[in-house]
A and B are shown apart, each in its own frame.
Chain A
């Protein structure tokens, strides 16, 4: 197409060269994008949407128990040092927002719900992976209890970990493998992994799997998220 005007490609090359130069300078300074930040965020959103289109919300593959990673190799991140003490006997999950029957669910009540257990691979946004067994109550079962209204499109999860919070779309939250986990490798969840209750799903990156839950709120507006607000992909599906 550019054959008729070869000077076009020269100018184009110059432009490319300038971009390359700028890109390497940017790399040199650890530049995060500056004025390009909105573009990068936009690209991330586009990416999320394409990713969502690609995904059929299929179930994550399961592994034999023998494939589990050693527990000391499965890290757990926390923001608070130290975490505020929580008494599992008095702790409860507040479920509210755009629902017909708000509820306060104790661990006993959650354990009385259908139990989903799987041995799956955990994918961290950092690039590491590890295998473990998780068990808990499906978010869909909790949703059935509280009956979200038609306007509810998102779920916001709050924690007692220094304001760490997260937002999920309802479709992902109601995925059959999305659970409120209370057990890790056949035992009660430890503090390291989010006791007394954490969100878990093998089809999302680790930072979406909110630990130390206190509250679950159905909303019409898209909630942010601790990491998402800083630039991580919002959907984080894998």
Chain B
């Protein structure tokens, strides 16, 4: 948590800001050399905040602030890779028996019942390969998850991330804002209430994936856990469903990064953020 010393800490950097993309100058903007995707999208955001008659002629250079701890960033990207590999190897495993329920059926409702996934989506080549990949990635996935949760608890970061009862009305206001039923953006801390709901949910989903995974892995030795999910066949079913919720979450998550807060991409890579939202509660 040691703050980085000088250069980036000055509140407002005096250096001349690059011309925003909205200026029709064809000359390439002397954008800062750090890979920062922000200038153009910032221009997009502006009209939402400022009266329309004052186009963003004089851009404000926002302060560069520390947003994400290294552990958050490493576990975030590790998760992205591990989940991709686990889903691909999981689809390879699914290939061996594409149904849910005791053999002979009736099988649970599943759009892919009896269907196979294309080869490009599968990892491992055959069942044993898929299993070995899946297990090899599963342990790092669990460890990354535990490291992340430990960090949340120890650092107190959970306060700005976890969705709590008090966030219910705030989430409602945020929803109204997104539906254009409310003019101003509700005040927020590091994350708005809907983000908190999403991130809390995805943590829950990660835990569910790991636990249903254990329930399938040791249905006899961890029988109590398997029973908790309704038995082996249902645990397998929930494990599969979690995949599609992960996929949907990731698509929306990535889309929102670029649509709402592109500066957050840099923050998740380098830890430093120059955007329009607070980085602390």
Contacts and interface: CB of A to CB of B under 8 A. Distances in A.
A79 to B, nearest CB: 16
Interface string A95-126: 00000000000000000000000000101111
A128 interface: yes
Contact of A128 (B88, B97, B119): B97
Interface in B80-127: 80-81, 84-85, 88, 93-94, 96-97, 99, 102-105, 119-127
Given A1-B70, A124-B97, A9 B221 contact: no
Given A27-B121, A60-B220, A231-B132, A128 B84 contact: no
A167 to B, nearest CB: 16
A130 B101 CA distance: 9
B78 A16 contact: yes
Contacts of B102: 69, 73, 128-131
A56 to B, nearest CB: 7
Contact of A6 (B71, B217, B272): B272
B278 interface: no
Contacts of B141: none
B270 A227 contact: no
Interface in B191-243: 217-223, 232-233, 236
Contacts of B126: 30, 32
Interface string A1-41: 11110111110110010011001101110111100000111
Contacts of B73: 2, 9, 13
A40 B132 contact: yes
B171 interface: no
A127 to B, nearest CB: 4
A13 B76 CA distance: 10
A55 B214 CA distance: 12
A72 interface: yes
B88 A123 contact: no
B77 interface: yes
Interface residues of B, number: 57
B33 interface: no
A49 to B, nearest CB: 12
**Among the interface residues B70, B103, B233, which one has the most CB atoms of the partner chain A within 10 A?**
B103
Residue of B96, B128, B135, B236 with highest tally of chain A CB at under 10 A: B128
Contacts, number: 167
A46 B143 CA distance: 15
Contacts of B168: none
A72 B69 CA distance: 57
A33 B130 CA distance: 10
A43 interface: yes
A73 B103 contact: yes
Nearest to B122: A27
A51 B2 contact: no
Contact of A231 (B70, B81, B105, B128): B128
Interface of B: 1-4, 66, 69-71, 73-74, 77-78, 80-81, 84-85, 88, 93-94, 96-97, 99, 102-105, 119-129, 131-133, 135-136, 139, 217-223, 232-233, 236, 269-272
In order of increasing CB-CB distance, the 3 nearest A-B pairs are A73-B104, A2-B70, A43-B136
Interface of A: 1-4, 6-10, 12-13, 16, 19-20, 23-24, 26-28, 30-33, 39-41, 43-44, 46-47, 50-51, 54-56, 58, 60-61, 69-70, 72-75, 121, 123-131, 202-203, 227, 230-233, 237-238
27 contacts: A1-B70, A3-B2, A9-B73, A16-B78, A16-B81, A19-B81, A23-B123, A24-B84, A24-B120, A28-B119, A30-B125, A31-B124, A32-B129, A33-B124, A33-B132, A40-B132, A43-B139, A44-B135, A58-B220, A61-B223, A69-B103, A73-B105, A125-B131, A126-B96, A129-B103, A203-B221, A238-B217
